[in-house]
Amino acid sequence: MPDPYVLILHEVEDYAAWKAVFDAAAGLRKAAGELSFQVLRQDDDAHQIVHVSRWRSLAHARLFFESPALVEIRRRAGVRAPQFLYLEQLDHGDL
């Protein structure tokens, strides 16, 4: 079965404030089924953050990210207009 991933594009007011809330939610994310993550920033806009994460299943990820609790966490973190892409890995490799 291919690995499921979620890619989230966030516009954040303040990275440090967002990251503090993100880090505080690590236990919630793990309990919900997140297995690993990467946080990236757009090179020409420090307010554009990308969160890529690998999950046990896309169903677990959807339940977590679409829950009312996560809507409130995103609001507290200063996130504006997040975009979610639920993805299944087709291929990967190292070069």
Classify burial at 16, counting beta carbons within 10 Å of its beta carbon; exposed 0-12, middle 13-18, buried 19 or more: exposed
Q: Is the pLDDT of residue 1 over 70?
A: no
Whether the model pTM is above 0.95: no
Tell me if 70 sits within 8 A of 64, measured CB to CB. yes
Q: Specify the pairing of strand 4-12 against strand 34-42.
A: unpaired
Which helix (H) or strand (E) segment holds residue 74: the answer is: helix 68-76
Q: What angle do CA 49, 61, 26 make, to 5 degrees?
A: 60
Q: For position 81, what pLDDT does the model report? A: 83
- Pick 4-88's CATH classification: 3.30.70.100, 1.10.1790.20, 1.25.40.10, 2.70.70.10: 3.30.70.100
pLDDT, one tens digit per residue, over 3-39 is 899 999 999 999 999 999 999 999 999 999 999 999 9
- Cβ proximity of 10 and 18 under 8 Å: yes
State the Cα–Cα distance between residues 55 and 3, nearest whole angstrom: 7
**49-94: per-residue pLDDT in tens?**
999 999 999 999 999 999 998 888 888 888 988 999 999 999 889 9
Q: What is the pLDDT of residue 17?
A: 93
pLDDT: is 2 or 83 the higher one? 83
Task: Find residue 38's DSSP bridge partners.
Answer: 52
